[in-house]
Structure 1
Amino acid sequence: MPKILVIDDEKTILENIKFILELDNNEVITVSNGKEALEIFKNNYSNIDVVITDMKMPEISGMEILKEIKKIMPEMGVIILTGHGDLENAIHAMKEGAFEYLRKPVNADDLTIAINNAISKKNLLLENTRINKELLEYKKYMQGLHDSALKILLNMLPKNLPDIPGFNFLVEYKSCESVGGDMYDVEDIGEYICFYVFDVSSHGILASVISTIIKSFLQNIEYNYKQGINRRRFPEIVLDLNLELYTNTARNIFASLFLGFIDKETKTLYTVSAGHINQYVIKKDGGFIKLESTGPILGVFEDATYSCSVNHLNKGDKIWLFTDGITEVSRDGKIFGDENMLKLLQDCKDCSLSDTIKKIIQVTEDFSDGSCQDDTTILGIEVL
């Protein structure tokens, strides 16, 4: 049963409107004083469906009542009653948010239609308000997840790269606005230097979860090495990781990984690449070794196999690892690409790791007009 608040200083009009509305099975509250009406509305607005008020009343006018009601509950439908010759004020009331104005004496059918329409609009506005509130809460919730994901990823990044005689390391990592799944590390595991870069296909909290799984798995390499790891088992590390992801993640979530080991004594480089983009060794003379993928991406194929590439390093050689946030920067539908990256690395063959990374960032940012499209990681390793 709709509850209607009717305000008019003429008792005859109040009685007539109340009689009409109660015939339609409405609950009617009649008030002849504007101040008293506002007090009633303030205490009961959540239970009132529509307000009908006369325009001209002593002490507080219908216009003032309209403005106060809209302050308390903007969605409330207010119907204004006007006398003859008061059209200008009625139009002004509509601009202030009145739902409708009706001229006295009020026609019963017109009043019923206006009330039903006012209630329908009020309910629609309240529903929109509820939806908008839920969307805002959802947005805050998702922002909280985003912030948590970013914090997780940043906490997993190594605080410092190791100091290993005969080698120099430098990294540049940049997280885009939408949290991605780039991760890197360099570890001294005794006879070998272990290093890697991986890139999870997803973003946000899911990317951080998958990154945590991969990162935790790779952190066990030092333990595995102490149990007798050798170069013939390097591909098995990636094979086991692939099965871990295949078993515990959805099929549409995958990651690429470039995993490398350097024998510190012989300077032999062993690499296994699970669907990662081409990485490079830039020789001191400007030549290069392309370190291509040696198996499929992680987490998609249960029967995937991986092989190990073996190369020898010399003094002055630089190993460059990076994610596709570098090579896939784009402008006008064109991507920076692998060939441009290789040429850039060769042009910087005599530069320090620091200067090379600065040059890569500058060139790719210029190419993309500074837009951030994905997380980016650049890891350089120099043989001294």
Structure 2
Amino acid sequence: MGQRTPLYDAHLAAGAKMVDFGGWDMPIHYGSQLEEHHAVRDGVGLFDVSHMTVVDVAGKDTRAYLRRLLANDLDKVGEGRALYTCMLNERGGVVDDLIVYKIDAEHARLVVNCATRDKDLEWMEGQAGGFAVDIRERPDLAMIAVQGPKARAFLRDLVCDDARAALDEMPFFGFAQVGSWLIARTGYTGEDGAEIILPGEKAPELWQRLTDAGARPAGLGARDTLRLEAGLNLYGNDMDDGVTPWEANLGWTVALDDPDRDFVGRAALEAQKQKDHTVMRGLVLEGKGVLRPHQTVHTPNGEGETTSGTFSPTLGRAIAFARLPAGTTGTVEVEIRNKRLKAHVVKTPFVKNGKEAYKPI
């Protein structure tokens, strides 16, 4: 038996098929992964993401500590804004990817992956030497994601006046604290919506209100097809401790403009940037077949490998991320069951606003 979120009983009552995910018992679907996927693309979907690890960093050296810890620069955003970034090791490899919420000059909240919890907490504590910061995990909190093109309008009718006003004014990757809740305009689906971090004991009541009002519960299966269509990486598949942001299509999360900010891994990234290295690109299969992780990709420049792959419910064809030799463009061949099938190298996202959005490279 794995760890259980405060919504475990609600999942069972809704007929969820439960699976182990990073040591947690989580719903993979509630009967139809395909229907859950389309519900998020077309309307409002609901995810329990309480398995994610929430960590509060506080103290007078919070800013200096995070400038050292993170590859992206939190100074780029003001209070009440969130930032996607990575923690890197000295070789430039990705320790984990995360979202950091800038609450004020001396307080930030980080949400990291559940499967890397122990490693992340150890890493964060190990980098805190010399900084006056308190690093505190928040297992008392739950997290619910409401996602889809109708999600924010849907939420407006179900929250208090203060939360409604915050939602109306909230920019993308903005957030607001409303009592003991943190409501953020973030997500992992490529759609609009909100993620709500709240006390665990309050989560079942909110979940019930949302489902009673018509939000469709969605499991990890739909979450994976949605994030892949949206061009969003999954830690452990598309990057890890041995893969740098340059190699994972995450160069946009690295801030090098301040020469005085010596974040962990900076020297390695600057050195690698000057050399040829593998790159991650999107693949769209030309014919029938299913793209999965760890399939060999044959290119004129040498072999590559798929890192994530699935059948796209929105596009009706197979898509994947692949790590390829530098300069790979056009058409490649993916080895599937000892057959080489043609695929096109593309720029992601595959889907945006519910429609095809990829561009050939």
| TM bracket (short chain) | under 0.3
The structure whose RCO (Cα within 8 Å, separation 6+) is larger is 2
- Tell me the TM-score normalised to structure 1 length: 0.24
Q: TM-score, normalised by structure 2?
A: 0.25
Give the structure with the higher percent helix.
1
Q: Which has the larger radius of gyration?
A: 1
